[in-house]
A = this chain, B = another copy of it.
Amino acid sequence: MDAELARKDAVRRWFEELRDRLCAAFEELEDRYAGAELAHLPPGRFERRSWKRPGGGGGVMALMRGRVFEKVGVNVSTVHGTLPPGFAREIPGAAEDPSFWASGLSLVAHPRNPYAPPAHLNTRHIRTRKSWFGGAADLNPIYPDPADTERFHRRLKEACDAFDPAWYPRFKRWCDEYFYLPHRKEPRGVGGIFYDDLEGDFDRLFAFTRAVGEAFLEVYPTLVARHMDRPFGEEERRFQLERRGRYVEFNLLFDRGTRFGIMTGGHPDAVLMSLPPLVAWP
């Protein structure tokens, strides 16, 4: 196998391995649930559905509707082919040669308990004549808990600091700027990191991508576990459904990935898997 093939293979296999470990961690929380409100529901299990991209490659959507997680999706897709001419101009390294390869993992978790924070993770590697990594990990609590926020940021900061001490402050600011609802003058959540166009030493950047995944896998399930059994009532549920509206507004009005997927004929169920299961605009 040549070096490039070996790299693509290693990246794809990492995303699949991370997906399996995330799904296992979430299913374990489903089993451990010990609250009252949702005890009548059975512990959830992921279901997987694979899809093919007409131009090349495809992916697997893993989706669970459980008692801890009202809806959690983990998508891994590995696609390749030729970028449409108009779009190729916007993509680094694709102006002269529009062929591309991309692999990524995308996760959105919407817990049932309004005190357990929703979260989002995306990491990806893209190869044209150039090659780079990008990603985001951010926390979107209904009721922000300072201890959760601190833990989540600290763990991401550790992952960044092991590679470059300038990264965490830069990626945190980028996250705050990106996940912002201008019409509400509100941030989408309590932040995290966002980065893109990371070019350079493949081994180092791939190691960073793995470190972000490991950090998320380590910290996020502990935040859900802290709150998932807490009692809650109709008032909290109503507020949760209303706050979820902000998530929908961001993704449909502003998120570049969602809008790109929609406008370029992506599978609507895969592109919109991030949308919360139940939402209110009161």
Contacts and interface: CB of A to CB of B under 8 A. Distances in A.
A183 B271 contact: yes
Nearest to A278: B280
B275 A278 contact: no
A245 B268 CA distance: 12
Given A249-B252, A252-B249, A252-B252, A278 B241 contact: yes
B278 A279 contact: yes
State the number of copies, please: 2
A275 B281 contact: yes
Contacts of A259: 253
Interface residues of A, number: 26
Interface in A184-201: 184
Nearest to A261: B183
A55 interface: no
Given A183-B268, A183-B271, A262-B183, A252 B248 contact: yes
A38 interface: no
Interface in A261-276: 262-263, 265-266, 268, 271-272, 275-276
A282 interface: yes
Interface in A223-282: 241, 245, 248-249, 252-253, 259, 262-263, 265-266, 268, 271-272, 275-282
Interface string A171-189: 0000000000001100000
A31 to B, nearest CB: 23
A266 B271 CA distance: 28
A70 to B, nearest CB: 10
A81 to B, nearest CB: 19
